[in-house]
Amino acid sequence: MKPWVPISYDPAKLDEVPWGDFATIGTVHSLDGSRVRNFSALDVERVLAYGDSGAGWDGSVAGLALLRWGQYLAWESWWGPTGSGFHSDAYGGDQEVMVALDPVVALRAIPENKRELLVFATDESERALVDVLFDAHMSGTGRAGLIEVARESGEFGVLVEFRVDELLRRWPEPETA
């Protein structure tokens, strides 16, 4: 059994995102001096990664999206008993929304503990590479070797290290003899 599964995110169906019609608590800022523009779900070209800690009393969420004008939008938030940074109330959390022209800059701005929640969107074009990486992982190839294989394919672009790390978090450890 191969680990590849198609994953896509509909911007209109995600709840903890910075483009909804609601009051927010937190900041929106540029990481690289590029202009911060107003945006809505219609401005989201593609959600590249999304993840949350699951339903519960307290939790966290993070995401990365490409906006139609070429900026990358990264966000992270936490929620409390009754709300989050994207749904303002007396006990909610806060959010931080960041824009950058470089997706690596945007991803690195998300704190590591929230970045680890991310699951990247995948499409059919990546299936063969993910299968090759999984086989290499299960045969004992380490992170550096997997990154090298993925980098040679060019499939993951500049996000290669983030994508390999995310796959390694989801995959089982290889059995040792």
Mean pLDDT of 53-80: 88
- pLDDT at res. 1: 44
Residue 87 confidence class, pLDDT cut points 50, 70, 90: low
Residue 47 confidence class, pLDDT cut points 50, 70, 90: very high
pLDDT higher than threshold 70 for residue 90: no
Half-sphere exposure of 12 (CA within 13 A, CB side): 1
Phi, psi for residue 145 in degrees, rounded to 5: -65, -40
- pLDDT at res. 104: 95
pLDDT higher than threshold 90 for residue 4: no
Note the pTM of the prediction, 2 decimals. 0.85
What are the angstrom distances between the C-alpha of 111 and each of 25, 101, 108?
18, 19, 7
